[in-house]
Structure 1
Amino acid sequence: MALPSGWASLRIYPPIGFARVGNSTLDDGWFYGPEVPGYFPEPNNGFKDINGAVKRQAARFRIYAVANDGKVLEINKKSGWDIAWKIQVMNKKASWYTFMGKTQDGHFKPGYTTLRNPSVQADLPPDQRDKLIVDSGIQSVSGCNAKSVPLAGKFYGSKTEPTDVYLGEARTDDQGRLVVLAGRGLSKSIAKEDDPYPYIMTDFDSPDWIDDTCDGWITATITSTASGKSVDAQGKARVIGTTPKFANGIYAPTSLYDLMEEVYERKKRAAQGDSYNVGDVSWYKHIWPLLQRPPLLSWVNGQANGGHGPNSAGNFFDEGWQHSLSDKSKVNEAIRKGVIMRMRLPETNKKYDSARAGQAYPYFMPWLSGDGGRTTAGDPSTFASVTELQYDRLIQWSEGSFDTTAVKTYQNFDDIPVEEQPSALTKAALEATIGAPLYPGIEMSWNAEDDKIYDFNTPFTIKPEVNAGDLTRFLSLPWQSDFYMCRSYWWPSARPDTVVTEEDYNIVSQSVTPANIAKKLNDRKPWERGLHQNYTDVYSDQPLFANTDMAKNWHKLGFIVQRPSFGPEPIFVETQRGIIHRPGKETLPAQHTPAKSGIVGGPLKLPQPDSKNQPITTIESLRTHLQTAMAIELATIPLYLFGMYSVKIPDEYANDPRYYDPVIGAIRGVVAEEMLHLSLAGNVLLAVGGNPKLYDPRYIPSYPTFMPGRVPKLWLQLRKASKANIQTFIDVEKREKTDTPPESDEYETLGQFYDAIKIGLKYLSSQNHKLFYPETAAFQFAPGLGYQAKERDAGGSVVVTDLDTALEALSIIVVQGEGSPGPYDDPDKLEKDHYDVFMDLRFGPAQWEVYPVVENPVTPDYFKIDRRLYQVSLTFDAAYCFLLRTIETLWHVEKYSNRQNLVLKNMYGIMMGVLAPLAKFLVSQPISNTERAAPCFGYYEFKQGISELKQVQDEMAAAINAYVSVTKETPDQVAVHGYSAMLETLLPIQTTINNLVDINSFEKLDVGPTKKFKLPGVENRGAKGFAKGA
């Protein structure tokens, strides 16, 4: 349909509009984006609704007809036209390539850069990977005040069933103009339905994540209400659904308007060559809008505040500066030249390359990171610069060639002359964006610098053949991940760095004269305070805790808005901030109560003999005796492990994996044999038809407790393994007379107790031909799958099938430890019993240091001391109990491969990869001036219906989260990593736990990665992080 006679053009404005996400669902939970250049009114009642949810910014589109004589008409209901709109938006980020900066070799080249979600439709071109593209389809809306039309699509990722993704909606206003609302800011992983926020592992390219940002095209057909004739608007407008802008009224040094203006200027510059002239330069249109940006940024950025804040030498709002900078006389030429000397040369002109290398330092402006990554001293690609057009205008200004005629400004769109309205809409939309740095960017990436996407016949217009989703596919997935990383040196006009809090503003404003308020607002707080920290600058393979936190909590952060000022400087203050995380060092909800302790069954007791002459006369009594024997073995294991964990490795060997400590080795050997005794007693119990139990509150004692079968009483206590305390270990293993039947109704010694079991086995075997069940052999601990003897002649696992093998198993228990009559059965035997091992430590020459650990700790006691330690101790208890459940399970599993997994992955993994490092962590943590924490070996009550392994994994994740510090920063905005060492210990433990196998399925649970993975050819290790070389 041709344009009516006399019409030169019919186009949609702005040619590129921006809708911003928000999580408000109220009818009034949105507002119109800026439509007047330089004017950013605060929405009624702020940027959040009455529920504290973020309001969405709507993008409104109008149509203007320009006549051949230059007259302009807005096409709407009032001017006699009906409008039918069509719109399609897409989110293609998940289908695109992993992010690479424009200075990186091979950026976005197929076959070089890795695809995002490489396991999904990897053989297809990115635009055809439809399972990873959210497409709204072409939607239509027309008339006035039209009902909203949803813009939504489906995302499959690696799943077979899709996830619905709402990208926004389209409606019209009372004149038929198009109004586009963005999504709700929802980002999530679809990998696991019950875990939408697993740890983010990469800065920009999270697999199976989706967010609701997007971009797309808009077309329109207008119909005359008088004639009924219709005509299509020329070209396509674009809408970009993007992130909130949290700093209202504060500009980036280079906006997308500046960048696109530069792209269009290049054509003119190339055509004119040496005769190129930048044209007229206006103080009010070109220079002051740029020079005011550093002092505006001082309200949201620490570096800018240091150089251009209200109390800084470079406060360009100061009246003296205003006069000097706007005066084009020779008197102030030196000042103008001094300013431009501090401006970093534009990177797009090769003639500046050599000089720019000397400007790769914070001394020059703007002090922001560049398209090549975070600021790195000596690398010019990592420092932002103004555009060449901005710089050329500054040169002309510095030479005194500029106009100081005032430019009329507006606050009401309808006051703008209709001839100026199309360009006003264009500029208002684009100037509130980020045009540099683009690594990858906020609204668009460095594709905004690509002249191939523009229609050079119309300013600021994208070519019609550029498809929906193509403008934003380069950006971070999810957007919140990069949004957190962009601290300090990136985009403070959209994502603030440091701010004046509302509380500080109220205090100052009520205590000083109005004219001095700005200069007295000296305290700055991190905008993202309350979010967890990242540690990738120090430990590059760690998850991005803060990025994940941002995905969950972005809507709770504050908006920076202008407050009344009575001096030359404007004042900007953080408002409407929500509560993000626990206050201070709290790591658990206030209503959380500590877990109950393991004091349930009381001290262990030996069963009474059936009679003096025949202590065991029934199979039930035999099984009770054997279960008690297991409980006794279990009671001594924490005693020895606790002591072993308390031994301090000499500092010079603390990080040397080759170091062998003989004291720790001696105790570990005893522990291994106690585990053997446990399994042997269990094998005998299983062989006689019993059901061996370990995970039972009756068999998991609380310390201190009594050792049964000892007169006088012997206390079992969790204490440090000092030489003096080794005496308790000796007393536990003290030799006793055997082959002595009980002389009363109770066993007086463990020797009598074990002899009673032997006697009972012999008696019942003679009375019952079916005492043993040989078919249980496949379910027992057997040689080669469990205990490995230290000495070649030591006893090991015995598969019990008859009386002889049962007696052999019990003899190993007695000879190695409990009830042993002497150090050796054979004088040539290499293996020492436990008594002699501890005697050698107690009275031998070995010397060692121990940590001053607390005695007999109970996990709930840590709750009031330090809830982080409480969570670590709770995790230890859960892992210890899961170890017991694993051992129990082994007596019910026949398949060798499953048994092998349970032994090698779980038993060894828990003992060496979980309990030992968790204990090492605990004993390193002070709980008072004189004591350290220590493991408790308490009873952890697993919830029914949930995998025990999953519960251990959850406790470990909570322990890590407890030590991921909330943001705390030094004045120069480099993060303080107070808990890096803790995380360095805890994260490998989490990896071990996540590699354990479930005791029901015998397979690993799908928990996703807990460490960052390396993508081929791509640098993805916290690539933004914090500035270096400053």
Structure 2
Amino acid sequence: MTATTSAIDETLIPTFLTDEATRVNAGEPITTREELIKHLKQAARLETITIPMYLYPSFSIASRGYSQWDPGMGAFRLIRSIVVEEMLHLCLVRNLLVALGEGDRIKFYDEKFMPSFPMYMPHRWPPLELHMGPCSRELVRDVFMEFEKPAPKGRPQPVPEGWYPSIGKFYEAVGKGLKLLDSQIADLWKSNKPHLQYVAAYWNKDGGGEPVQIKDLKTAQDALKIIVDQGEGTKDNKLSVPIDPLKPVPGLDEMPHYIKFKRIADGVEPIGPVWPLPTDPEAGLYADDHAVTSLNTLFNAVYCYVLHMIDVIYQTPRNDIQPGKQSPRYHYERTFMATMQGILVSIAEMMAATQVMVPQAMVVHAGPTFEFHKLPGSGKNKQHLMKLCDAAMVHFPQLGGDNSVRWLISKLPDEV
């Protein structure tokens, strides 16, 4: 990657953008299947970055709403709806890779795949420094809105080699590449395994969209439309988009991510009280606090388990559900989102409510670090999580009991 300014901090550029094996020719037309696959893998990384970046500030919100009597959704529910849609986008990108015969060549549970903050937003010009931080109108305005910001209208500004002006332009390049290659390669979709694509068990109370089974150019373009419309909004920059971008119904609309964040930044949707979480924490920050370390380790293990579970879903064939018969695939699909919204969020809320002394002799509240945790392997992972939970329960007894984190962990699939 090259840039035209010395203001670039090279240490904040992710290695996957500069490594010859993974980098893409950003700004140049996609004319080969190899370049298309590289772009889609970069897209998966881009969507993966948003999950910890958006979840972390939502965990810092000390109440689930500014007031139960206030109108509107509030910052927490808006951010939660965005995160779930980002999970959908991540799966749509992987569906595209499966449709192109590349589904088994990417893993979300991979130390090299997980983001590390601070970092530059991949491909975006001008450079945007990304952080995990406590929720504030400034963070939402200066980072999140900029991340989701549509490309400016009018004559395009010059962009250095290796960069795109927006996510939408990145996906526009992918769409054009798909169209070109579909016209040039007769068997582009010959290795598709539709029975391995994610097409069910998605729900988002405050958001929209649906998984798309990709089988040809039309359905691939449908998937890209969902991703871009839900993020930046439609090309005419309306303040709302259909809840189902592919089957719009008058009156059934939601806001794109950019507008949702703008409502938070403008103070329309209140944030409420916020725990003082550290910015861009790493596990070493809590090295002197064994209690917080045990809880953070459990959090990281569960987060990695969620990513691993998505990988397992994409390796498990989907069979038609029949009365009286279990479908492992359907069980995994229902479980992975429940694990994220139930177990992971509960652990994070305990951390955020816990004070910790950090090396700078400051008292802050603990924030999860979203770091890679080595799992022992399928068939052993649930017991591993239970052992980590038991170790943390010594310090946080609320992890146990009826309908608790430990109880929920015990209900996870044994074989994942």
Alignment of 1:594-743 (within 5 A): 602=14, 605=17, 607-609=23-25, 612=28, 615-649=29-63, 662-691=74-103, 692-727=106-141, 728-737=143-152
Question: Residues 604, 666 of structure 1: CA spacing in aligned structure 2 closer, same or farther, 3 A cutoff?
Answer: farther
Q: 1:955 aligns with which of 382, 385, 388?
A: 388
CA distance in 2, matches of 1:828, 1:945: 45
CA deviations 1:749-768 (Å, max 9, x no partner) are 23332111111111111121
Whether the aligned pair in 2 keeps the contact of 1:687 and 1:772 (CA below 8 Å) is yes
CA distance in 1, matches of 2:16, 2:284: 22
Question: Residues 952, 712 of structure 1: CA spacing in aligned structure 2 closer, same or farther, 3 A cutoff?
Answer: same
Larger of the two Rg values belongs to structure:
1
Count of residues in correspondence between the two structures: 371
Alignment of 1:512-531 (within 5 A): none
Alignment of 1:804-823 (within 5 A): 804-817=218-231, 821=235, 822-823=237-238
Listed as ranges, the gaps of 5+ residues in structure 1 are 1-598, 964-981, 1001-1030
Secondary structure of the residue aligned to 2:138 is coil
Q: CA deviation at 1:618?
A: 2.3
Question: Residues 623, 868 of structure 1: CA spacing in aligned structure 2 closer, same or farther, 3 A cutoff?
Answer: same
Aligned residue in 1 for 2:350: 921
1:993 matched to 2:375: no
Query: When the two structures are superposed, what TM-score results if normalisation uses the length of structure 1?
Result: 0.34
Amino acid corresponding to residue 748 of structure 1 in structure 2: Y
CA distance in 1, matches of 2:157, 2:220: 20
Whether the aligned pair in 1 keeps the contact of 2:100 and 2:188 (CA below 8 Å) is yes
Alignment of 1:462-501 (within 5 A): none
Amino acid corresponding to residue 87 of structure 2 in structure 1: M
Question: Residues 683, 737 of structure 1: CA spacing in aligned structure 2 closer, same or farther, 3 A cutoff?
Answer: farther
Listed as ranges, the gaps of 5+ residues in structure 2 are 1-10, 243-249, 320-326
Structure 1 residues 754-763 or 812-821, which shifts more? 812-821
Secondary structure of the residue aligned to 1:849 is coil
Secondary structure of the residue aligned to 1:719 is coil
Amino acid corresponding to residue 910 of structure 1 in structure 2: T
Q: 1:777 aligns with which of 194, 213, 218?
A: 194
Alignment of 1:414-453 (within 5 A): none
Please state which structure has a larger fraction of its residues in helix: 2
Amino acid corresponding to residue 627 of structure 1 in structure 2: K
CA distance in 1, matches of 2:157, 2:170: 9
Whether the aligned pair in 2 keeps the contact of 1:735 and 1:820 (CA below 8 Å) is no
Question: Residues 611, 800 of structure 1: CA spacing in aligned structure 2 closer, same or farther, 3 A cutoff?
Answer: same
Q: CA deviation at 1:953?
A: 2.4
CA distance in 1, matches of 2:160, 2:350: 47
Amino acid corresponding to residue 622 of structure 1 in structure 2: L
Aligned residue in 2 for 1:567: none
CA distance in 1, matches of 2:334, 2:256: 26
Amino acid corresponding to residue 61 of structure 2 in structure 1: V
Whether the aligned pair in 2 keeps the contact of 1:646 and 1:923 (CA below 8 Å) is yes
1:872 matched to 2:295: yes
CA deviations 1:403-447 (Å, max 9, x no partner) are xxxxxxxxxxxxxxxxxxxxxxxxxxxxxxxxxxxxxxxxxxxxx
CA distance in 2, matches of 1:662, 1:748: 32
CA deviations 1:139-185 (Å, max 9, x no partner) are xxxxxxxxxxxxxxxxxxxxxxxxxxxxxxxxxxxxxxxxxxxxxxx
Question: Residues 660, 991 of structure 1: CA spacing in aligned structure 2 closer, same or farther, 3 A cutoff?
Answer: farther
Alignment of 1:353-432 (within 5 A): none
Higher relative contact order (CA 8 A, sep 6+): 2
Q: CA deviation at 1:604?
A: 5.4
Aligned residue in 1 for 2:169: 752
Q: CA deviation at 1:652?
A: 11
Whether the aligned pair in 1 keeps the contact of 2:48 and 2:115 (CA below 8 Å) is no
Amino acid corresponding to residue 338 of structure 2 in structure 1: G
Secondary structure of the residue aligned to 2:383 is helix
Whether the aligned pair in 2 keeps the contact of 1:617 and 1:764 (CA below 8 Å) is yes
Q: CA deviation at 1:605?
A: 2.6
CA deviations 1:460-496 (Å, max 9, x no partner) are xxxxxxxxxxxxxxxxxxxxxxxxxxxxxxxxxxxxx
Secondary structure of the residue aligned to 1:931 is strand
Q: CA deviation at 1:944?
A: 5.5
Aligned residue in 2 for 1:882: 305
Q: CA deviation at 1:946?
A: 6.6
Amino acid corresponding to residue 368 of structure 2 in structure 1: P
CA distance in 2, matches of 1:690, 1:801: 14
Secondary structure of the residue aligned to 1:927 is strand
Provide the identity percentage. Answer: 28
CA distance in 2, matches of 1:715, 1:619: 31
Q: 2:211 aligns with which of 797, 800, 804?
A: 797
Q: CA deviation at 1:820?
A: 5.9
Question: Residues 851, 815 of structure 1: CA spacing in aligned structure 2 closer, same or farther, 3 A cutoff?
Answer: same
Question: Residues 884, 742 of structure 1: CA spacing in aligned structure 2 closer, same or farther, 3 A cutoff?
Answer: farther
Question: Residues 944, 829 of structure 1: CA spacing in aligned structure 2 closer, same or farther, 3 A cutoff?
Answer: closer
Aligned residue in 1 for 2:202: 786
Q: 2:334 aligns with which of 879, 889, 904?
A: 904
1:936 matched to 2:404: no
Q: CA deviation at 1:945?
A: 7.7
CA deviations 1:199-242 (Å, max 9, x no partner) are xxxxxxxxxxxxxxxxxxxxxxxxxxxxxxxxxxxxxxxxxxxx
Amino acid corresponding to residue 733 of structure 1 in structure 2: E
Amino acid corresponding to residue 684 of structure 1 in structure 2: L
Whether the aligned pair in 1 keeps the contact of 2:57 and 2:134 (CA below 8 Å) is yes
CA distance in 1, matches of 2:354, 2:390: 19
Secondary structure of the residue aligned to 1:670 is helix
Q: CA deviation at 1:779?
A: 1.4
Secondary structure of the residue aligned to 1:648 is coil
Q: CA deviation at 1:743?
A: 6.3
Q: CA deviation at 1:914?
A: 1.1
CA distance in 1, matches of 2:121, 2:161: 18
Amino acid corresponding to residue 682 of structure 1 in structure 2: R
Aligned residue in 2 for 1:767: 184
Question: Residues 862, 840 of structure 1: CA spacing in aligned structure 2 closer, same or farther, 3 A cutoff?
Answer: same
CA distance in 1, matches of 2:27, 2:75: 43
Aligned residue in 1 for 2:322: none
Amino acid corresponding to residue 888 of structure 1 in structure 2: D
Please state which structure has a larger fraction of its residues in strand: 1
Aligned residue in 1 for 2:3: none
Aligned residue in 1 for 2:245: none
CA distance in 1, matches of 2:14, 2:162: 18
Q: CA deviation at 1:776?
A: 1.7
CA distance in 2, matches of 1:628, 1:921: 33
Question: Residues 688, 737 of structure 1: CA spacing in aligned structure 2 closer, same or farther, 3 A cutoff?
Answer: farther
Whether the aligned pair in 1 keeps the contact of 2:85 and 2:209 (CA below 8 Å) is no
